Amino acid sequence: MNGKPTGKVFLTKKIDDFFIGLYSGFQFVIRFFKEVLKPPYEFKEIIKQCYEVGYKSLGLITLTGFITGLVFTKQSRPSLSEFGASSWLPSLVAIAIIRALAPLVTALIAAGKVGSQIGAELGSMKVTEQIDAMEVSATNPFKYLVVSRVLATTIMIPMLMFYTGAVAMFGAYLNVHQNEMTSLITFFQQAFEKISFLDIFSSLIKSIAYGFTIGIVGCYKGYHASNGTEGVGKAANSSVVLSMFLIFVEEILIVQLTNSFRT
């Protein structure tokens, strides 16, 4: 034997690590819900994190939302024109943006920007033993660092989602106005003709779930970082990858659930 693990042993170890990580993540989520209800409440830190998550993401969110609305409208026009249905364009754009694109685009942008930032920040604090120092000084690091960040992402992602939707619709309007000279009032009347309360409510639920996922995954990966600076990089990277994966899973589940109410 050369001391290297066989394929079977390697596979078994990977499976064990997966279920151990799953259990650890579940315990982390349970701890969050326990801590969030207990005083003291770190309102100042929550407001600070809301500023970090929301205000500092506005520039990127604005650009992404505007381009999404503009490009989607440009791409949809030729297909509708072939069937003589160009008048349906505002309604089509509104349905696509409000039902799917606004929450999904916002969540993916936030997962890349905010999720990696949280993972790197907490990972850096973990490997430099700042979290351990907080515990020694009688401060609850979980409540101060984790609860505040998860609440901030859960609160701010829905707000950013509505903002993304508004910017995307404005981008769509500019393209429609350029080609059909449609007025702003007419465009939005046609756009929201087919939008129901269920569409807005489902997008709100999606964005809340996405915000919680981004926050909890980033905090979990950062809080359990190890191996020095290399571990910080891995924590930031895995925060983004896992957040995006879970966002797509949640998207499928919520869409299926929402469609069951439409029928």
Helix/strand/coil (H/E/C) assignment for every residue in the chain:
CCCCCCHHHHHHHHHHHHHHHHHHHHHHHHHHHHHHCCCCCCHHHHHHHHHHHCHHHHHHHHHHHHHHHHHHHHHHHHHHHHCCCHHHHHHHHHHHHHHHHHHHHHHHHHHHHHHHHHHHHHHHHHHCCHHHHHHHCCCCHHHHHHHHHHHHHHHHHHHHHHHHHHHHHHHHHHHHHHHHCCCHHHHHHHHCCCCCHHHHHHHHHHHHHHHHHHHHHHHHHHHCCCCHHHHHHHHHHHHHHHHHHHHHHHHHHHHHHHHHHHC
Please tell me the predicted confidence (pLDDT) of residue 2. Answer: 53
Tokens encoding 170: 């404005």
Print pLDDT tens along the chain (263 aa). Answer: 455 556 677 778 778 777 888 889 899 999 999 999 888 888 999 999 999 999 999 999 999 999 999 999 998 888 888 877 777 888 999 999 998 999 999 999 999 999 999 999 999 998 888 888 887 887 788 999 999 999 999 999 999 999 999 999 999 999 988 888 888 898 888 888 888 898 999 999 999 999 999 999 999 999 988 877 788 888 899 999 999 999 999 999 999 998 888 76
Tokens encoding 38: 């207990």
